[in-house]
Chains A and B, each alone.
Chain A
């Protein structure tokens, strides 16, 4: 841990020292930017993980991974704090995905209606499984463990706590 701290301090000092020369040379300017970026990453990591000091002694690759995780965690926190929960939606055969705010929806029917409009599709979900078979697509979601599940099998609130991503697949089977 001591080494980690000294390393961090050294990095900060290096950034401070190089600042006065930043304006004189574009090369040094680039160097300054790189150092600042690294320092920011380290700082961000230590802010979010108590074990950050332990990892800071390890290889830089671990720090990079930690930084990426910190950024993602920050993103999640920010989305939750402002009362929105955006997830990605992809439709089979369409290369460009969409993002939808599940917190702004009232339930499954609202979700299906919104996606029908977004993708100009007729989407099937669990409650309609026994009804007419003319719909060509089925809505599925990836949960925390990465398993793809059919939308509508669990209560809406439980769905919100597990969904990570949505996918509109072609319905291969016939009723």
Chain B
């Protein structure tokens, strides 16, 4: 079922694009009530979801790109102790490992590619945490990647202090 989620999101974005291009009031009045049941149907039916995704291809690519960039904004990355932040677009990465690689290149000087790279060793001596929409600080890695991209609003890189609990959590 995870494989259908991106199609659902694409469908929602494209439907929004349709709303954007339509200016007639009669259609505007009816549109708000249709998407929700349609979305449910797409979630329930495999073929329907696939068809919906394909039928919307080719619609205003430029506008769609704008929509995508506004729907998933880049997030701020803060390294504890540094005053200058960096930004990263999570939608350009497909996994935690890809994010770990990007963070390593950002913050580790002379970093070479490592095969067994993951969040726990991306930046030596540091933990990768994030703030969600409720401003709670959480350790990155517990959610699926897609859920993480949806809820992470800021990434914080915190030093591991001499606390054995923190170290063990990464095992």
B-binding residues in A (CB < 8 A): 5, 8-9, 12-13, 15-16, 19, 22, 32-33, 36-37, 39-40, 43, 46-48, 52, 68, 71-72, 75, 78-79, 81-84, 86, 88, 90, 94-100, 118-121
Contacts and interface: CB of A to CB of B under 8 A. Distances in A.
Interface of B: 1-2, 5, 16, 19-23, 25, 28-29, 32, 35-36, 43, 62-63, 66-67, 69-71, 127, 129, 133, 136-139, 142-144, 147, 150-151, 158, 164-166, 168-169
Contact of A120 (B1, B22, B139, B164): B164
A120 B169 contact: yes
Nearest to B63: A19
A98 B19 contact: no
B95 to A, nearest CB: 17
A86 B164 contact: no
B37 to A, nearest CB: 10
Nearest to B138: A97
Contacts of B151: 75
Contacts of B19: 12, 39, 43
A97 B143 CA distance: 12
Contacts of B166: 94, 96
A68 B144 CA distance: 22
Given A12-B20, A39-B20, A40-B71, A86 B143 contact: yes
A83 B4 CA distance: 13
Contacts of A9: 23, 25, 28
Closest 4 interchain pairs by CB?
A46-B32, A99-B142, A120-B168, A97-B138
Nearest to A33: B70
Given A32-B66, A33-B66, A36-B70, A47 B36 contact: yes
A19 B19 CA distance: 15
